[in-house]
Chain A
Amino acid sequence: MADPPGAVGRPLPRSGARRLAFGRGTYTDDLRFPGLLHLAFVRSPHAHARIVKINPGPALAAVPGARVFTGADIARVCTPWQGLMDNLPTMVSPPQHAVAVDRAVWQGEPVAAVVAASRAEAEDAAAGVVVEWEPLPAAAVRDRTLDEDAAPVHPELGSNLSYAAAIRAGDAEAALAGAAHVVEGDFSFARHTGVPLEPRAVIADYDPGEGRLTVHGGHQAPWHQQDTLSRHLGIPEHLVRVVTPDIGGGFGIKLHIYGEEIAVSAVSKLLGRPVKYVADRLESFVSDVQARDQRVSARLGVGEDGGIRGLSVDALSSLGAYGSYGRPPINEGMMTITMAGGPYANEHYEGRLRVAFQNKPPSGMYRAVGQPIACAVTEQLLDRAAHAAGIDPVDMRRRNYWTDEACPVRTPGGIGIGRLSLRACLDRLAAMMDYGALRAEQAALRGRGIHRGIGVATFLEMTSIGPERYGPAGARISTQDGATVRLEPSGAVRCVTSVIEIGQGTHSALAQIVADRLGVAPQDVAVVGGDTSLTPHGGGAWASRGLTIGGEAVWRAAQGLRENILELAGSILQADPADLDLAGGAVSDRATGEARIALAEIGRIGHFRHDTLPPGVQPELAVTRHYVPDAVPFALANGVQGSWLEVDPETGEVRLLEHWVVEDCGRIVNPLLVEEQIRGGVVQGIGGALFEECRHDEEGQMLNATFADYLVPMAAEMPDIHVGHVETPLEGTALGTKGAGEAGTVGAPAAVLLAVNDALRPLGAQVDSLPITPESILHALAAGA
């Protein structure tokens, strides 16, 4: 049932933006609580060390009134957790305490919590806590973590291997042996992190009278937080409430369960007082989850015609000292081996994965999880094969895409593909870039000693993951979302949603959906959410699921309310509801479009004048609906990105000139929001391609834990990003949307890597490690010369 032309599809400015632009946002640290205490952590200075003794004496002397809680103190009220999955019986992962007990396993792990009247005093006191350490050897070099003589991260596990997996389809070895051209790469993807501008912050308020815990914090999955707090602190779930105020960016970083957040609640429970913790940036760099961190060797074989014959991928994926709790911690690596080669027709594939622990901050999901790696490996090999076979890279892709006739298909990596629009996206991108002219310009400039490169990378983007993956894992994380839509007495509409708004503008898009169902203007719909005690239960903001799952729930709730309104109007007007419609803020005659009764009248009568209704009429002006994605296991978006850049062979510097994206995220509810999701994602992908790296020394000390040293993309280095769309609505849903939040990050590193290597190719050099730094380019040039 398609909506009539209305708010959906229009580039409407976001409703919440005004408040934020006037400095009236309310982020966690902006909240004020009477009697608030402030908490600071004492953190391990060693990547691996035994805690011999903790002496709080000097801290208490320096700040009278301060309180110090060791890991053992916290453990008395908080049980440890373990990141295991029911459907991965061979995966190992040790128990993790909120605050380390006995042994610290990464530099920065909290070992004591200190509470005082102000943040400054809590930090003063934390500095006074004396910890006696016995340093232990650390495993901190990714490519050596699985060596026989590597230091054990968790000695009780017997090895640093957390998980190993292999995928085989056809016979990749034989196919490669028979291929006309075999190209290879030994790729490295540095460890990096999500760097939301607002650091993690939490305020826990335990009320001993009622036994209730209220937690305010910028969490992307507040129900997961609620479940964890309830089970590990022993507080019945209905007495735990998690409230999410404005969130200053998440990108997956605020999706996870952190010892710090849980410890703050534990301390609040112990003291019966509200307690706040706000990470500073240095702490964020050693405690926010880190991601990527893979070494991937891969080989691709093609025939003389450029057709893919076989692909082999071997990935070593590094976790930190722990994986994420409640979510498959191996996903970064699994996405690499399942998504590699995905867009292209192929029968022979082999993917191998080993996942290893290191003495580094815990690992977790960061925007696009593993897909940027799968994409970069696949696309770079395809470019190399195109070159070997003497085929233009764009043509190479067109020849190899899954055809429409082949779909639906299950890729050799195991990804179910329904319908893609790769050729349409590629054609659109080539036109937007003016690909032919750009190649000519590149050639002309080469003649003048200017080295420019073009990278064109195809991507698949797995979004809106359904129950097939999280259910069997035993994850206590919902893949469902819910909404209540209700008509207020004035005729205005309120929508209470489980969707968490972290800046994408999803709430604004939900208003557009409701508006169209009820025939009102989007500004007449208020969307509220972010309180687990008030909204329907949901999954939260991850895997770009807000509109595809939460939006569908909202559509259904609004549809239900629509039916109820028409039924009530039928009894008021003595008309058949089937002859009535909703438009322009009124119930109208379906045949003539003429307004019969205003929604404000329906609201007034439905709420206040029940005495005037026929006997037996029970107005239901609030409707709740939920939606579990059941049409497909996940919504697979697709697209193509293009990068145009210049490499200076003298300095090794890369200058980004222009970037293009054509994305098919299904039906678009609000292009303004979608395009900015894509642009923001591209820039994060470029960050991974050129700048971002958590650097650690061999002892596991992070070397660049400040904003001055950990480079992030700033405005001056970023190109303009042109975005185009192809719309292939997702089948089996009312809205037809797919996620769009990760597309930019999936494809941008590949596009940039390909473009750099395209620029370097005539100079006989190539780079296979991200981030690509001026040093790595100069090194490659020296090696190639």
Chain B
Amino acid sequence: MQEFIDIALTVNGEPVSRRVEARQHLVDFLRNELGLTGSHLGCEHGVCGACTVRVDGAVVRGCLMLAVQADGADVWTVEGLSDSGGIADLQEAFIARNALQCGYCTPGMLLTAAEMLEAGRRMTRTEIRAFLSGNFCRCTGYHAIVDAIGTVMERRFGG
């Protein structure tokens, strides 16, 4: 019943090639094969956003994508974006505002927030909330997360 397929992709800027089980989803691949445990699993059915990663420039739910579908792709996780400094201002704002408690949702939140910033403009709190509506956080109540993202927008795009 097991079927294996060779894949080659770029993860956090580095080339990776592996033989993977056809049924393995992307986050299990990142976590179990590459040891990138910053991406989490909260539901494995595409609702909570804990598994959010960036694939070819867009955020995707890593539990809804198979590792084999990432063959040839450019994948970024919270570890890579932390090392590159690409989300440093978001991370600092989250920390300063205490926009995380258990931290389990945080990597997914940060990747979604980073995508929000790609729009290149400030958003209203309502817009930020709508953009976050695919990321579940059980701890914070969201208010601080909205504050933190709003602060970064203000800093990046002015008042």
* Complex partner residue of A707 from B37, B45, B94, B107, CB under 8 angstroms: B45
Contact present for B140 and A679 (CB under 8 Å): yes
A518: min CB distance to chain B, Å: 25
Report chain B residues within 8 Å CB of A21.
91, 94-95, 100, 103, 106, 110
Return the contact of A27 from the options B104, B130, B134 (Cβ within 8 A): B104
Q: How far is the CB of A555 from chain B (nearest CB, A)?
A: 23
User: Does any Cβ of B come within 8 Å of A457's Cβ?
Assistant: no
Within the complex, what minimum Cβ distance (angstroms) separates A748 from chain B?
10
Q: Which of B24, B98, B135, B137 has the largest count of A CB atoms less than 10 A from its CB?
A: B98
A714→B136 contact, CB < 8 A = yes
A502 within 8 A of partner (CB): yes
Determine which of A120, A505, A706, A720 lies in contact with B21 in the assembled complex, contact meaning CB atoms within 8 Å. A120
From residue A228, how far is it (CB to closest CB) to chain B in Å? 24
- In Å, the complex CA distance between A28 and B117 comes to 32
A758 shortest CB reach to chain B, Å: 23
Q: B102 on the interface (CB 8 Å rule)?
A: yes
Q: How far does the alpha carbon of A249 sit from the alpha carbon of B139 in the complex, in Å?
A: 7
Q: Of all chain A residues, which has the CB nearest B36?
A: A23
Docked CA distance A502–B138 (Å)? 12
Is the beta-carbon distance between A714 and B105 smaller than 8 angstroms?
no
Distance in angstroms from B64 CB to nearest chain A CB is 12
Partner of B95, one of A18, A124, A683: A18
As a 0/1 sequence over residues 82 to 107 of chain B, the CB contacts with chain A under 8 angstroms (1 = contact) are 10000000010011101011111111
The answer to whether residues A505 and B98 also contact, given A20-B106, A25-B103, A197-B105 and a CB cut-off of 8 A, is yes
B144–chain A nearest beta-carbon distance, Å = 6
Q: How far is the CA of A405 from the CA of B143 in the complex (A)?
A: 39
Q: How far is the CB of A472 from chain B (nearest CB, A)?
A: 34
Q: Is the CB of A22 within 8 A of B82?
A: yes
Q: Which of A23, A198, A683, A712 contacts B38 (CB 8 A)?
A: A23
Closest Cβ–Cβ distance, residue A257 to chain B (whole Å)? 21
**Cβ of A714: which chain B residues have Cβ within 8 Å of it?**
132-136
Q: How far is the CB of B101 from chain A (nearest CB, A)?
A: 4
Question: How far, in Å, is B100 (CB) from chain A's closest CB?
Answer: 6
Q: Quick check: B98 and A673 within 8 Å, CB to CB?
A: yes
Which residues of A are found within 8 Å of B129, using beta-carbon distances? Answer: 715-716, 718
Contacts of A676 in B (CB 8 A): 98, 101, 139-141, 144
Interface size class of B (residues with CB under 8 A): 35 or more
B1 within 8 A of A: yes
* Structural contact, B102 and A197, CB atoms closer than 8 A: yes
Question: Do B102 and A246 touch (CB < 8 A)?
Answer: yes
Is B47 part of the contact surface with A, judged by Cβ < 8 Å?
yes
What residues of chain A lie closer than 8 Å to B106, measured between beta carbons?
A: 20-21, 23
Contact B125 A720 (CB under 8 A): yes
CB <8 Å contact, A198 and B132:
no
| Interface residues as binary, A655-695 with B (CB distance below 8 Å gives 1, 0 otherwise) | 00000000000000000110010011111100000000000
A196 touches B100 (CB 8 A): no
Please judge, given known A-B contacts A21-B95, A281-B42, A676-B141, whether A707 and B47 are in contact too, CB under 8 Å: yes
Q: Does B156 reach chain A (CB closer than 8 Å)?
A: no
- Tell whether A503 is near chain B: CB-to-CB under 8 Å: yes
Assess whether B103 is in contact with A715, with CB atoms less than 8 Å apart. no
> Judging by beta carbons under 8 Å apart, are A23 and B95 in contact?
no
Nearest CB on B from A103, distance (A): 30
CA distance A20 to B96 in the complex (A): 13
Chain A, residue nearest B105 (CB):
A197
Within residues 1 to 45 of chain A, which ones have a CB less than 8 A from any CB in chain B? 13-14, 17-27, 29-30, 32
Q: Are B42 and A199 in contact (CB under 8 A)?
A: yes
How far apart sit A682 and B141, CA to CA, in the bound complex (Å)?
7
Contact in complex: B136, A712 (CB < 8 Å): yes
Interface: A504 (CB within 8 A): yes
**In the complex, which residues 6-55 of chain B have their Cβ closer than 8 Å to any Cβ of chain A?**
21, 23-24, 31, 35-45, 47-48, 50
Q: Give min CB distance, B148 to chain A, whole Å.
A: 10
* Complex: A18 Cα to B93 Cα, angstroms: 11
B79 within 8 A of A: yes
The smallest C-beta distance from A25 to any residue of chain B, in angstroms, reads: 5
Q: Point out the residues of chain A lying under 8 angstroms from B134, CB to CB.
A: 714
A195 at the interface (CB under 8 A from B): yes
Complexed CA–CA distance, A707 and B79 (Å): 27
| Cα–Cα, bound, A718→B136 (Å) | 12
Top 6 A-B residue pairs of the complex, sorted by shortest distance between their CB atoms: A23-B38, A20-B103, A503-B102, A248-B104, A23-B78, A503-B101
- Contacts beyond the supplied A197-B136, A249-B139: 6 A-B pairs with Cβ under 8 Å: A18-B95, A23-B77, A198-B40, A680-B101, A682-B141, A706-B43
A-B contact pairs, 18 of them (CB 8 A): A13-B96, A17-B94, A17-B103, A20-B106, A21-B110, A23-B36, A23-B38, A26-B37, A196-B138, A280-B44, A503-B139, A672-B98, A679-B141, A679-B143, A679-B144, A680-B101, A707-B136, A715-B130
